[in-house]
Structure 1
Amino acid sequence: MESMEAQSPAFQSPSRSSQQLHFYLAVDRPLFKMETVVELLGVLGRRPWLPIVVCCSSRDELDAVCSSLSTLPYISFAALYSDLGERERASVLEKFRQATINWNQQLNSAVVEEGLEESETREEEDEKKSHLVVVTDVCLPMLSSGESSLSSRVLINYELPTKKETYTRRLTSCLASGGIVINMVVGGEVTTLRSLEESSGIIIAEMPINISEIL
């Protein structure tokens, strides 16, 4: 994956702040997009408790992403889709919010995670998995109805939105303050990306190779 092997010369690693960071990850052909996402999550997903959201435009996309991610043993994932029951939806949202709490506690803790005891049980290891929710646009948290934002640390736009309103809604309903957005961009979508930049007043830089270090 070339974009993860060569850092954009214009990018400078930012210090952690409340500002959301926007990146793009270019893929030559649609055929390679899924493989690229799995490889990306193979890097990011190794961070304990890391809360990640992947946004899709359709149910077919969501199903394909979930199927591919089932091969990653260090990520715990769930899906939000239109025919998911109310109780199941509430459970997915609650478990993800607990993951964000664990992530924030880890950031604020003086305990060094790399020093974990070898005697750690399998149950404890499972609890420390990255947590990921795959969601379609129609099933994003409904803030106007009282649902809270997912407040993920990382938002991956598997399908790049064509409208500013969709892009903004994904941010407000899925991403925490200081979070990172990674936009998957295929071929001619660069024009759409630049249009989003201009209409939203944001800068979308090429994703750096040290993406996992700035989480």
Structure 2
Amino acid sequence: MDATESPLSTSPSPPSSFSLQRHFYLAVDRLQFKMDTLVDLLGTAGRRPYLPMVVCCSTRDELDAVCSNISNLSSCISVSALYSDLSEAHRAEVLDNFRQATMRWNRLGREEDADGEAEKEEEQKSHVIVVTDACLPLLGSELPVCARILINYELPTKKETYMRRMSACLSADGIVISMVVGGEVVILKTLEESSGLLIAEMPIHIFEII
């Protein structure tokens, strides 16, 4: 079944505000390969100029590990971190920069052959925010982040957390990619059934869904 098809009638209907969003899972064979898979995914997606992405983590330690490992992608991606004890001024700066990147994506980046000559090389970079769940309530009280892609680095075990990540971080027609390791497939299916969302396997080439 295609990811855009409606779920079975026995499943609860997702909120209408999420109806244009698409949901995928990316299976990883072993936990030790998970970080490398994320780096490869971001490195590939980051080839699209201006692409705004968010990576959601469950804990601050997880956020620090992700930021450290994707720092070597700085040639094509601008990376920022958001966590609950970040200063208000710093958080506002990160969010403002990301919203500017989102506007550039909406204006120029959606077309693969977009002409970026008028933009500086730094401004053509994809933008990534790595955020913890503890920071989501703060984002919910401000303007939406509206990323094109939301990556669940750690799959949430509760439907409420999954939905909160979407509402705080994702654009109305955005894409969710949940990374799944081993036995987490059971958790994924539970989320799918309880939320009424259809979560399909991600294509081998991410550009097929961007």
Q: What TM-score comes out, normalization by structure 1 length?
A: 0.85
Residue 86 of structure 2: aligned partner: 84
Residue 177 of structure 2: aligned partner: 182
Distance change in 2, residues 1:162/1:107 (3 Å):
same
Residue 69 of structure 1: aligned partner: 70
How far apart are the structure 2 equivalents of 1:140 and 1:84? 12
Following superposition, the deviation at residue 214 of structure 1 comes to 2.7
What SS is found at the alignment partner of 2:208?
helix
Partner of residue 135 from structure 2, selected from 112, 123, 139 = 139
Contact between 2:3 and 2:199, CA under 8 Å: does it hold in 1?
Answer: no
Residue 158 of structure 2: aligned partner: 163
Distance change in 2, residues 1:31/1:50 (3 Å):
same
How far apart are the structure 2 equivalents of 1:167 and 1:90? 24
Following superposition, the deviation at residue 184 of structure 1 comes to 0.4
Aligned pairs, number:
197
Residue 27 of structure 1: aligned partner: 28
Following superposition, the deviation at residue 209 of structure 1 comes to 2.0
Contact between 1:141 and 1:148, CA under 8 Å: does it hold in 2?
Answer: no
Following superposition, the deviation at residue 211 of structure 1 comes to 2.1
Residue 45 of structure 2: aligned partner: 44
Q: What TM-score comes out, normalization by structure 2 length?
A: 0.86
Partner of residue 125 from structure 2, selected from 124, 129, 138 = 129
How far apart are the structure 2 equivalents of 1:136 and 1:82? 8
How far apart are the structure 1 equivalents of 2:166 and 2:182? 24
**Which one-letter code corresponds to 1:129 in the other structure?**
K
Contact between 1:76 and 1:129, CA under 8 Å: does it hold in 2?
Answer: yes
Partner of residue 93 from structure 1, selected from 72, 90, 95 = 95
Contact between 1:141 and 1:149, CA under 8 Å: does it hold in 2?
Answer: no
Query: CA-atom RMSD, angstroms?
Result: 2.3
How far apart are the structure 2 equivalents of 1:32 and 1:143? 30
Residue 3 of structure 1: aligned partner: none
Residue 214 of structure 1: aligned partner: 209
Describe the superposition over 1:87-113 as per-residue Cα deviations: whole angstroms up to 9, x where unpaired: 00000011111111110011577x942
**Which one-letter code corresponds to 2:86 in the other structure?**
L
1:54 correspondence with 2:55: yes
